[in-house]
Amino acid sequence: MASKDNASSVAQNFVEEINYDEIEKIEIVGKGSFGVVWKGRWQDRDVAVKHIETEAERKAFAVEVRQLSRVSHPNIVKLYGACTVDKVCLVMEYAEGGSLFNVLHNKPAPTYSAGHAMSWVLQCAEGVAYLHNIKPKPLIHRDLKPPNLLLVQGGTKLKICDFGTVCDQKTYMTNNKGSAAWMAPEVFEGSKYTEEFEINFTDTEIYFFIWDKV
C-alpha cells in the first residue's frame, strides 16, 4: 500500500520538494477520483496544484513523479515539484486554456478553426513521438484523451498531461489501464498495448477536432 512516506521518498529522489505553505491557492479548476486540482501561485508564477487524496492515486503519484522528471518537451506539461509533508500533491505548469475536452464539449463552444485543430493534432503527435523515442527507455502514455490534452498561450500551444499510467515500451499493457471511451478495441481483447495504439489515437482524434470545421 502506498503511503505518505513512500510519496516523500519518491519526490526526494526525482523532483524538488515544495513547501505547501508557499503556495497561494486561488480557485478549484478540476475534480476527479484522485482529488482536487487548484489554480495557485508559487514563486510568482501560476501553477496547477493536483492534490492526491486516495491511497490508489498515491501509487499513480509515484509513477507520475518518476516519469515527468524524465521528460522535457514543449508539448508536455512541466512538473515543478511535489509536496509530500503535510499534503501530497503535484505542482505543475498551469494551463489557462483548459483541456481539449472543454473545447469540444463546453456550451457555448469556444471558437476555433480547422487550422487550430490541425495544429493541436500535430503538437500532440510531436509530444507522443518524443515519448516514444526518449532514451534510454522510451515511454508509452496509455491514457491519451481530450481531457489530458491542455491548452496554453491563448489556445495555440498544446501540452500532454496526466502521466500516472505511463510505462516504458518494454512494459506491455494487458490489464486495460487507461480510459475505456478512448481505448483501442484491441486492448479490450487482451492485446499488448504498444506505441501503435497511441499513433492511431492521434489519427482518430482529428475527426473530433475538425468535424464541424470542414
Write the pLDDT tens digit of every residue in 173-204. 444 454 444 444 554 455 554 555 555 555 45
Please give the average per-residue pLDDT across 14-31, as a whole number. 93
Where are the alpha helices (H) located in 42-142, listed in sequence order?
Answer: 55-68, 100-105, 114-133
- 170 in a known ligand binding site: no
The pTM (predicted TM-score) of the whole model is 0.78
pLDDT at 128: 92
CATH topology classification for 100-213: Transferase(Phosphotransferase); domain 1 (1.10.510)
Pick the catalytic residue: 143, 168, 203, 212? 143
**Average pLDDT over the chain, rounded to an integer:** 79
pLDDT at 50 over 90: yes
* Whole-number Å distance between alpha carbons of 76 and 141: 11
pLDDT at 2: 46
How many Cα atoms are found within 13 Å in the side-chain-facing hemisphere of 9? 5
> What percentage of residues in the chain have a pLDDT greater than 70?
71
Class of domain 4-93: alpha beta
pLDDT at 213: 47
Active site residue 44: no
- pLDDT higher at 64 or 200: 64
> What percentage of residues in the chain have a pLDDT greater than 90?
40
Topology agreement, domain 4-93 and domain 100-213: no
Under the banding of pLDDT at 50, 70 and 90, the label for residue 131 is very high
Please give the average per-residue pLDDT across 69-79, as a whole number. 95
* Whole-number Å distance between alpha carbons of 130 and 138: 8
- Per the listing, cell 512538473 goes with 79
Least confident of 46-50, 81-85, 89-93, 180-184: 180-184
pLDDT at 212: 44
Q: Where are the domains of the chain?
A: 4-93, 100-213
